[in-house]
Amino acid sequence: MGYLSNADLWYELFRNGTRSGPEWFCKVTKSKARFNKAMAKLHDYSLVEALPGHYSVHAYVHDWVSSYLNGEFQMELFCLAIECVTQNIKQESEPEFWLVNSRLTHHALTIPGIHYSLSLCQS
């Protein structure tokens, strides 16, 4: 989560990005029930806030994850963040495309150098 925005995290954001990724990530996002259970555990420890239809990571926790846990660049997680965003982009012809795409904007802007990085992750 260190490569994404700390706000507006929802199941489909992660689920639609699971074509690749670490085994633990695929297990957590295998079903909405598993995802919600994992997020509930994080909520029990006050690491995330549960909001209607989504979660958010507290700013201090996100800063810690971003700087401490991601102190060393982790290509696999970086590419996973890009995949989570790009696999959720909706076409104008899809219902409520503007709603999903506007939710993705904060995540896309959080990923450093996303335009350049797309080529790195595809190779």
- % residues pLDDT > 70 (the chain): 85
CA distance 4 to 117: 14
CA distance 61 to 13: 20
Q: What is the pTM of this model?
A: 0.81
**pLDDT-based confidence at 89, cuts 50/70/90?**
very high
100: which 2 tokens?
Answer: 């999903």
CA distance 79 to 122: 9
By CB atoms closer than 10 A (0-12, 13-18, 19+), residue 73 is exposed
Which pLDDT value is given to residue 22? 87
Q: Kindly tell me if the per-residue pLDDT of 46 is higher than 70.
A: yes
Give the closest residue to 55 by CA, choosing from 66, 65, 44, 63: 44
Average confidence (pLDDT) over 13-17: 86
Mean pLDDT over the full length of the chain: 85
